[in-house]
């Protein structure tokens, strides 16, 4: 697997996964295909002396065709386990996962960032975000808005951003997108436990989840001077007519594409 921070070209291999169940299914189908071909060859020899053999040939051919189609799909599934970059950019780590405390009775799994060397060979659940690939000059400010304020927030509203690392500078823009579903995870950097302002609880998988139902509002932020880094925090003021909706915590992310298994 590549390391976070690496520059990659579109189509470059990011990581290579494996599935024992998939390998066993392919091996089983290969065995069935071999048996079917062997039986078909035998029937081809016998059909000159045994009329029943000729009648069985069609059935075996259909069976072989079905097995080969299944084998083709399974091999495609296995090739999809080689994850490649959908675009050129910088590899960024997915949100870190905390290791479960001892005594929980759960089997040990991966923790931290998936691409860390210690997680080599770990079992990943379906839907796990392996990493992100983004443009180093284009960010998104992701603002966490409480459900009680959502009725006042809409696309096109003006936003003033201030970063904790650059308190003297204000970045301005407008809301480009508002999430249709509530935020369910990925709040580690925003959590009060990490010095942020979003109250969270830790779920069974080690992720930080907002205690109050919240939604994300997105704003594109260009960074031609390369001053931003992923994970920066700050505050945002959303202009709602004559009203200002709070000082909402935000985080800065690369414009990204997520890899999901």
What's the rounded Cα separation, in Å, for the pair 122 and 1? 13
> 28 falls in which pLDDT band (50, 70, 90)?
very high
The CB density around residue 178, as the number of other CB atoms within 10 Å, is 16
Average pLDDT over residues 64-81: 96
Average pLDDT over residues 68-91: 93
pLDDT digits 0-9 by tens, 149-207: 777 788 888 888 888 888 888 888 888 888 876 666 655 666 666 666 677 777 776 67
Query: Under a CB-based contact definition with an 8 Å cutoff, are residues 223 and 242 in contact?
Result: no
The reported pLDDT for the residue numbered 12 is 92
Residue 142 corresponds to which tokens in the numbers above? 């992701």
The reported pLDDT for the residue numbered 31 is 97
Helix (H, G, I), strand (E, B) or coil at 197: coil
Average pLDDT over residues 114-139: 81
> 13 falls in which pLDDT band (50, 70, 90)?
very high
Q: Give the pTM.
A: 0.59
The reported pLDDT for the residue numbered 69 is 97
Where does the chain show beta strands of DSSP type E? 7-8, 13-16, 82-84, 89-93, 129-146, 158-163, 166-174, 177-178, 200-202, 208-210, 214-222, 233-240, 243-260
Query: Under a CB-based contact definition with an 8 Å cutoff, are residues 29 and 42 in contact?
Result: no
Listed range (111-120, 189-198, 216-225) with the worst mean pLDDT: 189-198
Estimate the crossing angle of helix 51-79 against helix 20-46, to 10 degrees: 160
pLDDT over 50 (residue 249): no
206 φ, ψ (degrees, to nearest 5): 95, 0
- Distances in Å between the Cα of 122 and the Cα atoms of 10, 17, 111, 170, 251 are 26, 10, 9, 43, 29
What's the rounded Cα separation, in Å, for the pair 204 and 106? 10
Average pLDDT over residues 40-46: 92
What's the rounded Cα separation, in Å, for the pair 188 and 142? 13
Give Dmax over CA atoms of the chain in angstroms.
94
> 128 falls in which pLDDT band (50, 70, 90)?
confident
The reported pLDDT for the residue numbered 174 is 87
Percent of the chain with pLDDT over 90: 24
What's the rounded Cα separation, in Å, for the pair 27 and 51? 33
Residue written as tokens 């927030």? 153
Helix (H, G, I), strand (E, B) or coil at 55: helix
Positive or negative: CA dihedral 35, 40, 46, 51: positive
Average pLDDT over residues 60-65: 95
By DSSP bridging, strand 89-93 and strand 200-202 are: unpaired
Average pLDDT over residues 117-126: 83
Query: Under a CB-based contact definition with an 8 Å cutoff, are residues 9 and 85 in contact?
Result: yes
Q: What kind and span of H or E run contains 69?
A: helix 51-79
């Amino acid at each position: 697997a590549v390391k976070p921070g690496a520059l990659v070209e579109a189509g470059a291999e990011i990581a290579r996964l494996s599935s024992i169940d998939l390998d066993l299914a392919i091996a089983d189908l290969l065995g069935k295909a071999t048996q079917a071909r062997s039986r078909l060859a035998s029937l081809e020899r016998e059909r000159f002396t045994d009329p029943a053999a000729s009648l069985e040939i069609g059935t075996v051919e259909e069976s072989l065709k079905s097995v080969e189609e299944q084998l083709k799909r399974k091999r495609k599934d296995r090739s999809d386990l080689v994850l490649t970059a959908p675009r050129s950019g910088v590899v960024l780590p997915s949100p870190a996962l905390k290791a479960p405390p001892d005594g929980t009775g759960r089997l040990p799994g991966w923790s931290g960032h998936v691409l860390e060397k210690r997680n080599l060979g770990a079992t990943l659940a379906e839907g796990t975000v392996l990493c992100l690939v983004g443009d180093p000059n284009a960010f998104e400010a992701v603002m966490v808005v409480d459900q009680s304020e959502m009725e006042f927030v809409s696309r096109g509203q003006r936003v003033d951003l201030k970063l904790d690392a650059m308190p003297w500078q204000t970045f301005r823009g407008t809301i480009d997108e508002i999430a249709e579903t509530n935020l369910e995870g990925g709040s580690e950097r925003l959590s009060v436990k990490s010095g942020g302002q979003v109250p969270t609880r830790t779920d069974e998988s080690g992720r930080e989840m907002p205690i109050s139902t919240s939604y994300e509002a997105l704003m594109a932020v260009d960074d031609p001077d390369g001053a931003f880094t992923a994970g920066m925090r700050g505050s945002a003021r959303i202009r709602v007519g004559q009203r200002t909706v709070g000082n909402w915590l935000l985080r800065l992310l690369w414009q990204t594409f997520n890899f999901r298994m």
